[in-house]
Amino acid sequence: MEVNYKNVGIVGTGAMGRGIAQIAAQAGSMVKLLDTQIGAAEKAREALCTQWGKLVEKGRIDAATAAGHKDRLLLATTLADLAECDLIVEAIVERLDVKQALFAELESLVPAHTVLASNTSSLSITAIAAPLKHPERMAGFHFFNPVPLMKVVEVIAGLKTSPSVCAGLSQYARQMGHTPVQAQDTPGFIVNHAGRAYGTEALRIVSEGIADFAAIDRILRDQAGFKLGPFELMDLTALDVSHPVMESIYHQYFEEARYRPSVITAQRLAGGMLGRKTGEGFYRYADGAIQAPAEPAVPEVAEIPPVWVSPRASRRSELLQLLKNLGAKIETGASASPQALMLVAPLGFDITTVAVVERLDPARTVGIDMLIDDAATKRRVLATNPATRTDMRDAAHALFARDGKPVSVIRDSGGFVTQRVVAAIVNIACDICQQGICSPKDLETAVTLGLGYPMGPLAMGDRYGPTNVLEVLFNMQTVYGDQRYRPSPWLRRRGAIGLSLSHQEE
């Protein structure tokens, strides 16, 4: 198959530019590398050639294939050297004025058929193309680092981008072995937009004193199935990358509450606690290994009190069966005896609110998160309220740890941890579909490939139930009075009439 673009120029040879050059050469294009920093393009070419050589040594590719890749990787010394390229991809500093100046100069050098593309992760394609005489030839072509391994690429149309340009870039992405997703020109495009809730909601939980970084990471890994907790992830990406993106998307959406950043990351960024690369972030690192605090031990309790379960508890029958399996003495009366541990399992509400509304003794009331089927999780999460007695807290912890499954005990929180993070993720994803930023199918593809979530956010909402997610959001908005938890119309309407969240009107 003939390659879509025979001659490709790459401007900027950092990790992203180098990665794009690698897969372009491997796809069969002649690639010219250009960098304003003296010697940078040469170093990039040497690094790629060395990498292909190692693949030969490992038997991953043969020597002839590696030689072909190397022969297609050339150096350029000036922008004029890119004049005959069919496609030029920019991967330079994230500054609008610098990108605009670069493309304006390129436009004066290249023929009419040349496609101009930016690998920007946060700037408007429309704004970058605004000074051009022919903005229809410009599009976003946003890869993720490391480019050869992250198999998704966002193809972004500015307001004046020709549909044929996006179609050509999508075809070329497939030739590179990547999966293209189509996005409208909005802040964060798809992946960085959809990924807002995971970090910002976790930061909000910490800021309320509900749990520490390690506990939240453990809960979201073990209970919801994420590969990395949000604080592990921010340490990996580094705060000098992730915090500016938080601020950029928040301000570009004119202070939309759903994307509100946190003072916690701003302070740590100012203090140089960026993550793995500085040896200290939310965790400390020794020789690259994370130094996570030990998990609190299960309390030793001489005798577990009888347990009474609220009739309003979510998954009540499953909770009663779990208690039976754990050997609990279960009370079945309309109200609890004076010595009983009182269990509630709300969606979205905090334990304090439930205790007050249901007229329970707050000193003996403990909550358990039952959004997800207990059999599908590797951890149970309990929550106390400010009045919960220590003996009742410890008894609940010991009881639910009887079968060896880890238990996290957190302070009172509307929506515990998993409920509020999952609901925020699903809600933002639904609003991306409501705004028409991309199709539900492309959203699911982009998030699973670009963020590594256990499933797409719409599939997540369908699995845990759109009506349950709606209930979490409505109740959290009641508890916190914050517009960040208002449900998207996409979620509210589909949840109300029983449609899958991935359903799209014809």
**pTM for the full model?**
0.94
Place of tokens 């029983």: 498
Q: How far apart are the first and last CA of the chain?
A: 34
The residues facing 152 across adjacent strands are 179
Which residues are annotated as catalytic?
121, 142, 154, 192
Question: What's the distance, CA 427 to chain centroid?
Answer: 13
pLDDT tens track, the chain, 506 positions: 678 899 999 999 999 999 999 999 999 999 999 999 999 999 999 999 999 999 999 999 999 999 999 999 999 999 999 999 999 999 999 999 999 999 999 999 999 999 999 999 989 999 999 999 999 999 999 999 999 999 999 999 999 999 999 999 999 999 999 999 999 999 999 999 999 999 999 999 999 999 999 999 999 999 999 999 999 999 999 999 899 999 999 999 999 999 999 999 999 999 999 999 999 999 999 998 999 999 999 999 999 999 999 999 999 999 999 999 999 999 999 999 999 999 999 999 999 999 999 999 999 999 999 999 999 999 999 999 999 999 999 999 999 999 999 999 999 999 999 999 999 999 999 999 999 999 999 999 999 999 989 999 999 999 999 999 999 999 999 999 999 999 999 999 999 998 999 988 76
Residue 272 is given by DSSP the state T
Neighbours of 213 (CB within 10 A): 23
Place of tokens 């779990």: 322
Length of the chain: 506
Here the contacts of 457-460 (C-beta below 8 Å, separation 24 or greater) are: 457/194, 457/425, 457/426, 457/428, 457/429, 457/430, 458/426, 458/429, 458/430, 458/433, 458/500, 458/501, 458/502, 459/502, 460/422, 460/425, 460/426
Q: Single out the residue of 487, 464, 468 nearest to residue 477, CA to CA.
A: 487
| C-beta separation of 403 from 325 below 8 A | yes
In single-letter form, the type of residue at position 128 comes to I
Torsion angle defined by CA atoms of residues 469, 474, 480 and 481, in that order, rounded to the nearest 10 degrees: 140
Q: What is the DSSP string of 399-464?
A: HHTTTS--EEEE---TTTTHHHHHHHHHHHHHHHHHTTSS-HHHHHHHHHHHT--SS-HHHHHHHH
Cα 454 from Cα 11, distance rounded (Å):
35
| C-beta separation of 423 from 472 below 8 A | yes
Residue 3 confidence (pLDDT): 84
Cα 213 from Cα 277, distance rounded (Å):
18
Residue 289 confidence (pLDDT): 94
Cα 133 from Cα 100, distance rounded (Å):
12
Could you give the angle at which helices 457-464 and 466-480 cross, rounded to 10 degrees? Answer: 90
- What proportions of the chain, in percent to the nearest 5, are helix, strand and coil? 45, 15, 40
Residue 506 confidence (pLDDT): 60
